[in-house]
Amino acid sequence: MLVHMTSAPTWTIAQIADEFGVTHRTVRHYEDLGLLSPERLGTRRIYHRRDRTRLGLILRGRRLGFPLEQIRTIVDLFDAPRGRRAQLEYVLGQIDERRIDLERRLKDAQEALHELGEFERRCRDDLATLEGAQAHVMGRYAARPGRVQR
């Protein structure tokens, strides 16, 4: 190993799977769906840097909740020829559609984080009240009716 150090680095399926925190089954599943198409050496799969880039894109799309089929159209978009004008305009249209989705998700996440912050503040207030009361009125809140949790 490490013969000349001039050749481009490659990875096996187990290596990229490990690195990205997924199973080899997941990687192969993405290949079945046409999301990845690694080089073959005999039957073995050889992953190059561009495959890693694509896998990164795929997993981010997945974290964002996009279905894999939609993700495929996106990563394909990045690799599309874009030579002809019609193709470019098609791509630009697709970009706009994706952007709308993403902006929706961005807004959702921001709102959720905001509400979470508000909620945390209320909880901390409750906790502070509880602490203050504890010195004088021990168990003041024990009488509160409430469902049993978990």
Partner DNA sequence: GCGTATCTTTACGTTTACGTCAACGTAAAG
Partner DNA sequence: CTTTACGTTGACGTAAACGTAAAGATACGC
- Shortest gap between Cβ of 123 and DNA (angstroms)? 26
9, 21, 42, 81: which one binds DNA (CB under 7 A): 42
Q: Does 136 bind a copy of itself (CB under 8 A)?
A: no
Residue 132's identity, in one-letter code, is G
DSSP codes, 71-133: HHHHHHHHHS---SHHHHHHHHHHHHHHHHHHHHHHHHHHHHHHHHHHHHHHHHHHHHHHHHH
- Shortest gap between Cβ of 21 and DNA (angstroms)? 10
* Touching a copy of itself, residues 59-98 (CB under 8 A): 60-61, 63-65, 76-78, 80-85, 87-92, 95, 98
Binder of residue 82, out of a copy of itself, DNA, none (CB less than 5 to 8 A by kind)? a copy of itself
Burial class, 58, CB count within 10 angstroms (exposed 0-12 / middle 13-18 / buried 19+) = buried
29, 48, 52, 98: which one binds DNA (CB under 7 A): 29
CB 70 within 8 A of CB 57: no
Burial class, 74, CB count within 10 angstroms (exposed 0-12 / middle 13-18 / buried 19+) = middle
Question: Which parts of this chain interact with DNA (CB under 7 A)?
Answer: 1, 12-15, 23-26, 28-29, 33, 41-45, 62, 67-69
Residues in touch with a copy of itself (CB under 8 A): 60-61, 63-65, 76-78, 80-85, 87-92, 95, 98-99, 102-106, 108-113, 116, 119-120, 123-124, 126-127, 130, 141-142, 144, 146-147, 149
